[in-house]
């Protein structure tokens, strides 16, 4: 086989391998970015839910204070709202941890 043809053949193989590797890296980066965007969207959703529950707790506390019928801390609905907020804060921490793991890669 002609040495020039062999060199051309090897260069072509090397070039295709480089293209395939670059394509694979680009796909991996794209998947990471998509996952980061998904997690960012989830964080926004959880943050909105936390704000909604805290707003509801504030409204409930205001109603209880206006009625002067009982303690705000003894109200069952208030405890349920704060439990939901605590659960959502744990979910938020989990999502942030996942996001940080992806960013480290």
The string of pLDDT tens digits covering residues 37-71 is 999 999 999 999 999 999 999 998 888 888 876 67
Does 100 map to a domain?
A: yes
Within-domain flag for 1: no
In a domain, 40, yes or no: yes
Is residue 13 a part of any domain in this protein? Answer: no
Whether the Cβ atoms of residue 85 and residue 54 lie closer than 8 Å to each other: yes
Q: How much is the mean pLDDT over the chain?
A: 89
Q: Is residue 59 part of a domain?
A: yes
Residue 56 has which token pair?
């509801």
Q: What is the mean pLDDT of residues 86-102?
A: 94
Q: What are phi and psi of 74, to 5 degrees?
A: -90, -10
- For residues 1-25, give the mean pLDDT: 85
Question: According to the model, what pLDDT value does residue 1 have?
Answer: 66
**Number of domains making up the chain:** 1
Task: Identify whether 16 is part of a domain.
Answer: no
Model-level pTM? 0.73
pLDDT of residue 40: 95
Question: Is residue 5 a part of any domain in this protein?
Answer: no
> Torsion over CA of 9, 14, 16 and 17, rounded to 10 degrees?
140
What pLDDT sits at residue 70? Answer: 66
Q: Is 79 contained in some domain? A: yes
Structural domain boundaries, residue 98? 30-104
């Amino acid at each position: 086989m002609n040495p020039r043809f062999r060199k051309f053949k090897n260069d072509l193989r090397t070039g295709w391998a480089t293209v395939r590797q670059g394509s694979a890296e680009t796909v991996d980066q794209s998947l990471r970015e998509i996952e980061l965007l998904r997690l960012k969207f989830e964080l926004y959703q959880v943050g909105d839910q936390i704000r909604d529950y805290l707003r509801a707790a504030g409204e409930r506390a205001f109603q209880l204070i206006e009625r002067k019928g009982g303690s705000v801390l003894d109200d069952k609905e208030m405890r349920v709202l704060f439990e939901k907020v605590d659960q959502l804060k744990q979910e938020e921490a989990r999502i942030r941890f996942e996001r940080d793991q992806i960013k480290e890669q």
